[in-house]
Each structure stands twice: as structure tokens, then as C-alpha cells.
Structure 1
Amino acid sequence: MKTIQKITLVMLLLCTLQSFAQETKMLNIKGKVLEAKTKQAIANAGATLLSTTDQKFVKGIATDKNGEFVLTVAPGKYHIKIEFISFKPILLTNKQVDQDLDLGTLLLVEDVKLLKSVNVVGEKSTLELNLDKKVFNVGKDLMSKGGNANDILNNVPSVNVDANGTISLRGNTGVRVLINGKPSMMSMNKGLEQIPASTIEKVEVMTNPSARYEAQGGAG
């Protein structure tokens, strides 16, 4: 009698183990990811399983050099997301996995956002020649963005600023500097280096200044 009970217990135990093994049998989800336009394999694309209840991450893997992937999962229902940078993702919703699943070839399309038009406007420095003066209009070039007043002056024809900050017109250092129409001492001791070039709208060079400007500069 005891022997029969032992055999029965062993058989029940084996049946339980077999049932448990069947319940936890893992399944494979496989597929191949290609670029839609060229049909080239996309390596390192992401294949991700998401929960159908709360969209949480369940499991993920990257494609190999041939664009192929295999996900081993427990039976159930999942969302399957395929994605790669600069491509539109593919989302396969509510996929029931109760046996091995072959998704076949999955084609990713480039995510290209086209602009209707692009206008590129450039503003260059220009020189105006008038009867009594030359007007150098400072444009939005690289010099005006990163330099100082001395850099602007060195771009003005016939004007030169040496390493000591001395301004000369046609080689003559007898130059008087006015800022916004008023005499300024900032031209002394490299003072003009303190003025950012981006704040300068224009430079007027008068070789024959009128009495209005009290022509104290011998050169201009």
C-alpha cells in the first residue's frame, strides 16, 4: 500500500513539473529591418516589446548587421516597436504571441521634414562716396560680430590703425575722432578697442571737414 502511495506521489510530481514547463515555455519573435528606399539592412535598429496595459518596456534588442533580430519572450500580448534614428518608427499593436512569431521584413521610412523655402540674406559692408566725405556702412559680416572699433577702421579705405592704436589717414596721424558727432578722447591709448564692432553703424571719413566740425585734424 505504501509503495502505491509513493508511486502516485511521484507521478503527481512529474505531472506538475510538466505542466509548469508547458506554462513557462518561451517563444521567439523574429524579423528583419530594412530601409524602405534602398532595401539595405539597418543594423542596431531597436526592436522593443511594450506592455499593452501601460506601455511599459518589457524587453528589447538591437538588430544585427543583417538587420535581423530575435526576441525570446513568454506567451502573451504585446506592442512591438521598431525604430531607428532619423526613421519613422513602426508600431505593431496588440500582437498575440502564443507560438513562435515571424514578423517578416519590416521597412523603415526616412523621417524627412521638407521646408517650403529658405531665404538667405547677406549684408555686406559698403562704401558710399559723397562730395565731402566717405561713408563706410558696417555690415553684418564676421568682423562686425567679433571685432572692435579698430578692426572696423582698418577695413575703411585709406584709414589705418597701428599696433599702438594710433589712427592715420593716408599715412598722416593728424586725425580727429568724433563719436556720434562729439569729440572723443577714446582714440588715445587704444581706447577704441573697448568699443565692440557690433555697436558701430557707420564710419564717416572727412578729408576736408567744414567749420561745423572745427577742423582741428590736419588729415581729416
Structure 2
Amino acid sequence: MALDALIADIRAYEPFNEQEAVDKPVILRALTAGPACLDRSALAHLACSIWTVDPTFTRTLLVYHNIYDSWSWIGGHADGEADLASIALRELAEETGVEDARLVPCGPGGIYSLEVLTVDGHEKRGRYVGSHLHLNVTYLAVADPAAPLRPKPDENSGVRWAALDEALALSTEPWIRDRIYRKLIAKLPAVQPR
């Protein structure tokens, strides 16, 4: 049932820009082909991210990602589950220590953005992981910047709040910074409470 709900939410989601318009049918094709894309063994598999901001929508929470060697957003794999909003909140807690974030109602099912992300081959926990695609669904959350932070040493070596423009400067991944983070920041005024 959760997979059917996710498919319906993505179908109903209105792309924000050309990148999302191109990526949305790619994600839907994989999802409607069956549940195999929920498993990270699939070449193109489902993942989720959570763009976390403070209550003023002027700062975002970043982790220093060990594999990408860059400050980045928070996220993880579906690993057989289709309730990506719950996974995104769980990843936020695991990777940063933030327990009381709340999702901001955005698009259908709370979807904030969609993207197909390329992941180059890399070492993880002493094993080689081949290049693959993340069929990514992003959610938006608000968290208290005074909440205690802690890294997850097997995945990141730092957690910090950064002003939105500083977050762009901290990223060493040009495509992610220019295509994804700039998009996530550009979308904030439309969902920010007045």
C-alpha cells in the first residue's frame, strides 16, 4: 500500500523546473515496474533526502559527508520501505541527533522535490560500491537550531547549521550545489509560513 501511495504522490507532484520535469518520469518508470527499485542492489534505486531548515527558513542543517568529502544534505536508502517521509526523518535523527523535526507540508505526500542523482563508485565500510543512480524524493523539515547535534561517524564527521548562501559555498560538489541546493533554496519562499 505504501508503494501505491508513493506512486500516486509522485504522479500528482508538479515539477518545479526542467530538471524535475525530466526526472519525474524516470522515477515513475522505475516505481511502476515493481518493487525492485526499493532495494539498493538495483542499479537505479529509491533514496530520500531531507532539506532541514530553522524556523526562520534562513539556515539549513548540513553534515560533512565522509564519502563525498563535502558538506551536504541528509538522506538515505529506501531499503525495502516505501514510506520515504518516515525514512527521511529517521535519517535526520541518525545522522545529526535531531529528534524533534517536523515535516513542512509541501506537495502531495509532503514531497518537496524530485531528482535523479548519479553516484560514482566508492568504498563504503571497506567494500567497493559500484556506480548507480538514486531515484531521490526530498522532504522539507523544520528543526530547532538549539537542539543538540552529533555526527554519525561511519557516515559523517560533522554536523552544523549554515546560512543558506554559506551552505552553497560549503559544498564542493558543483552539480549538486548548482542544480539541487540552489533549487531547494529557491523553493523555500513558496512554502515558508508567513
- Same fold per superposition (TM over 0.5): no
TM-score by length of 2: 0.22
Give the number of the structure whose residues are more often helix, by fraction: 2
**More relative contact order in 1 or in 2 (CA 8 Å, sep 6+)?**
2
Q: TM-score, normalised by structure 1?
A: 0.20
Structure of higher CA gyration radius: 1
